[in-house]
Amino acid sequence: MSLTKTPQPKPTSGSAQSRAELAPRTRNALAKGKLPRWAVPATAAGAVILGAALSTLGGFSVASFAIYAALLFVIGATTATGIVEGARRGKNALALYLIYGAFILALIPLASVIYTVLEKGLPGMSLHFLTSSMNGVTGAVDNQSVAEGGPVVGGAYHALMGTLLITLWATIISVPVGMLTAVYLVEYSKGGLLSRAITFFVDVMTGIPSIVAGLFAAAFFGVILGPNARMGIVAAVALSVLMIPTVVRSTEEMLKIVPNELREASYALGVRRWRTILKVVIPTAISGIASGVTLAIARVIGETAPILVTAGIASNINLNVFANWMSTLPTFIYYQILTPTSPTNIDPSIQRAWAAALLLILMVMALNLVARLVASIFAPKKGR
């Protein structure tokens, strides 16, 4: 008696049995307990429409529209997820959509500021505005330009150069002092009295009002050079007082996250501590250090009060930070808004102020791009 099994014939590709076995089972997304892909976008679209309608009832505004739309989206998407996928996934969706909504609401003021500055600043942005100063521009000149419908005369070249020079000198003063302080706190201090005192005073300096820094610089140079010592270098010293705490804190945190194994490997090769810091530690943390310096510059480039106290306001071009008054973009904006060149026709002054504000924002954006470029160039090379 043979025990060999007779092989069963395989079903042909065209048979009904093979089609039934090989065909995928298609089920509706709702039957699986999962929302279809179109549900969340559809909920968002409905929230936008209903939010606009509710905002219109009380007088349409972008802020109310955004709040209504965000609330309706969170409620609608969370309810739909809870009904279809269960209470557990509904709670998770609530937290997720609240994060999304908070992020969008946080972007609304930023987008509104950028749109407003672009809308009102672009008409005044021209080559003449960037290459001319306010020297010789009077109310009669503005009245004539308004009467004739011609372009606005006068620009912010003197303020632009003042901003660049004062910020440059403040950076030259602040970055070495801040970086060396951070290096001492991380690499050399033993947690003694001096390091604790430095940390305490850095924390105190972080919260100093900008006007106090300006008064300090004005009083310091007033004792040395006299009570009327107003010049660009005084403003640079005032801004450096505001920059140093930010540079110290950011550099200190970046140096702390450098792995100790890198230091130990360098010491094992016989490299001295100062050379290890210069060649290993700082290049490893240069990306974060550059970002911290950029934040410090962005913090002080828009300061107005300390510049008014230390450098004053000027309408002519002054490229010497060690003599005479200097104007910066923030003080230029302040002066154009507070005291228009022509009290009867303030539109030219308002246009110059908005153009200067746009220029200041572009400078901050350029600083961020430069920081990223510096970080990418000096970052340590990665192996394969």
Residue carrying structure tokens 């209504």: 68
% of residues, the chain, pLDDT over 90? 27
Q: How far apart are CA 321 and CA 261, in angstroms?
A: 45
293 against 384, higher pLDDT:
293
Mean pLDDT, the chain, rounded, equals 84
pLDDT of residue 353: 92
Evaluate the CA torsion angle 272, 278, 280, 281 in order and state its sign. Answer: positive
pLDDT tens, position by position, 126-135? 898 999 888 8
Instruction: Average the pLDDT over 211-237 and give the result.
Output: 89
Instruction: Average the pLDDT over 59-77 and give the result.
Output: 83
pLDDT of residue 9: 53
Q: Residues 329, 360: contact at Cβ < 8 Å?
A: yes
pLDDT of residue 239: 94
Does the structure show a pLDDT above 50 at 26? no
pLDDT tens, position by position, 316-360? 888 999 988 999 999 999 999 988 888 888 888 999 999 999 999
pLDDT of residue 351: 92
Q: How far apart are CA 289 and CA 375, in angstroms?
A: 8
pLDDT of residue 333: 93
pLDDT of residue 59: 78
Does the structure show a pLDDT above 60 at 183? yes
Task: Select, from the ranges 186-195, 235-244, 373-382, the one with the highest average predicted confidence (pLDDT).
Answer: 235-244
- pLDDT classification of 10: cutoffs 50, 70, 90: low
Q: Residues 296, 250: contact at Cβ < 8 Å?
A: yes
Does the structure show a pLDDT above 80 at 301? yes
Does the structure show a pLDDT above 70 at 260? yes
% of residues, the chain, pLDDT over 70? 90
Q: Is 243 exposed, middle or buried (0-12, 13-18, 19+ CB in 10 A)?
A: buried
Helices 210-225 & 232-256, crossing angle to 10 degrees?
Answer: 130
Q: How far apart are CA 192 and CA 260, in angstroms?
A: 21
